[in-house]
């Protein structure tokens, strides 16, 4: 998940309004980091309805290597052929995710957000949570030019925060949920000193019952001084990811509200501050305001469904 709400779905209104064919690929140099796999190693699959898959890459060291080419046509085919753009997206990912953390990203899915009304997501590839697929919407990335106004970088930072807080060093996948004494999520039981468990204990435990019983609109209106965005109020996981995005992009706040105190709490972590420094040294920083108003109906309704709108064809997806 501001003045600019980045990955948030109200921006999809712009996507729907301004969908045009992709610009000529020769405007971007195709970086040699994209490896061409042998034909026997590259699969072809049909595009799943609403998922908008275009091309799936696997990691070959620091390089992208084609894994699945989806059967697409029209504008989707133009996006598929625009491998220079795929590399440009991957280059931005590398500016945001440090090499030490990039080991958790095993696959990159380039998809078209028009279909699922989602701009990015992550999905664990195995139950042990060691390897993740990062899914990014190429059409969203190129609205009015690549990462125009810094919108797309917010998506990547938010999704990276999910991987940071949900990988195998943070979640115990072996313990039975009935025996979990910390914050329990669909991926497993959070470790006592994990980011999410500490975040939940400090900022959500006292209001968790209300969050489950109240309508999201009402819950946000009651506690909006606690959240950097409307979307953050939907769950501790999304709150952590959105708060991390503000932590990275903004200067240090004064801590006047609970939302700002959440941001300040991230400065206590050497790992998180080191990641923040890495990202900002790569020129990625931007002043964004904490939201004071609700976001669009299209976003709110899409995230109230019992089955999340999915950009990857797996059962557990984090947006």
Residue 281 inside a domain? The answer is yes
The CA–CA distances, whole Å, from 310 to 86, 108, 134, 254, 318 equal 21, 15, 13, 37, 9
Residue 315 inside a domain? The answer is no
Q: Are residues 104 and 175 in the same domain?
A: no
48: exposed, middle or buried (C-beta count within 10 Å: 0-12, 13-18, 19+)?
middle
Q: Are residues 45 and 81 in the same domain?
A: yes
User: Among 116, 151, 186, where does a domain finish?
Assistant: 151
More confident residue, 136 or 313: 136
Q: What is the dihedral of CA 230, 231, 233, 235, to 10 degrees?
A: 170
More confident residue, 94 or 21: 94
- Kindly report, residue by residue over 211-266, the tens digit of the pLDDT: 999 999 999 999 999 999 999 999 999 999 999 999 999 999 999 999 999 999 99
Residue 121 inside a domain? The answer is yes
Mean pLDDT calculated for residue range 80-93: 98
Q: Are residues 55 and 129 in the same domain?
A: yes
- Kindly report, residue by residue over 29-78, the tens digit of the pLDDT: 444 567 665 556 899 999 876 789 999 999 998 999 999 999 999 999 99
pTM exceeding 0.75: yes
Which residues make beta-bridge pairs with 135? 109, 121
Task: For the chain, count helices (H), then strands (E).
Answer: 14, 10
On the question of pLDDT at 87 being above 60, the answer is yes
Average pLDDT, the chain: 84
Q: Are residues 57 and 184 in the same domain?
A: no
Q: What is the dihedral of CA 88, 89, 93, 95, to 10 degrees?
A: 30
Closest CA to 273 of 98, 111, 50: 98
Domain count for the chain: 2
Q: Are residues 36 and 144 in the same domain?
A: yes
DSSP 169-236: TTEESSS-GGG--S-EETTEEE-TTSHHHHHHHHHTTTTHHHHHHS-HHHHHHHHGGG-SSTGGGG-H
Which residue range(s) make up the domain with 232? Answer: 171-302
User: Among 151, 183, 206, where does a domain finish?
Assistant: 151
Q: Are residues 194 and 224 in the same domain?
A: yes
Residue 317 inside a domain? The answer is no
Residue 7 inside a domain? The answer is no
Q: Are residues 144 and 247 in the same domain?
A: no
Q: Are residues 271 and 197 in the same domain?
A: yes
Q: Are residues 181 and 67 in the same domain?
A: no
């Amino acid at each position: 998940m501001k003045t600019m709400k980045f990955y948030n779905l109200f921006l999809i209104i712009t996507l729907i309004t301004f969908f045009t064919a992709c610009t000529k690929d020769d405007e971007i140099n195709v970086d040699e980091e994209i490896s061409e796999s042998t034909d026997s190693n590259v699969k072809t699959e049909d595009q799943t309805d609403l998922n908008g898959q275009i091309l799936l890459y696997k990691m070959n060291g620091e390089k992208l290597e084609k894994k699945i080419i989806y059967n697409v046509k029209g504008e989707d085919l133009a996006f598929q052929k625009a491998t220079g753009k795929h590399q440009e997206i991957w280059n931005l990912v590398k500016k945001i995710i440090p090499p030490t953390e990039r080991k958790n990203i095993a696959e990159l899915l380039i998809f078209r957000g028009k279909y699922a009304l989602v701009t990015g997501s992550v999905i664990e590839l195995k139950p042990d949570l060691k390897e993740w697929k990062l899914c990014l919407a190429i059409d969203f990335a190129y609205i009015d030019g690549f990462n125009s106004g810094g919108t797309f970088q917010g998506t990547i930072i938010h999704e990276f925060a999910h991987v940071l807080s949900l990988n195998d060093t943070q979640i115990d996948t072996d313990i039975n949920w009935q025996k979990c004494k910390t914050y329990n999520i669909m991926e497993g039981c959070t470790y006592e000193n994990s980011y999410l468990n500490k975040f939940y204990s400090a900022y959500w435990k006292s209001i968790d019952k209300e969050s489950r019983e109240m309508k999201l609109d009402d819950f946000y209106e009651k506690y909006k001084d606690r959240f950097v965005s409307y979307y953050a109020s939907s769950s501790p996981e999304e709150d952590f990811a959105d708060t991390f995005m503000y932590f990275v992009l903004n200067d240090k706040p004064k801590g006047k509200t609970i939302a700002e105190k959440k941001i300040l709490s991230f400065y206590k972590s050497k790992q998180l501050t080191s990641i923040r420094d890495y990202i900002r040294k790569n020129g990625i920083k931007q002043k964004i305001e904490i939201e004071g108003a609700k976001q669009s109906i299209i976003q709110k309704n899409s995230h109230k469904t019992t089955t999340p709108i999915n950009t990857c064809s797996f059962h557990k997806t984090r947006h």
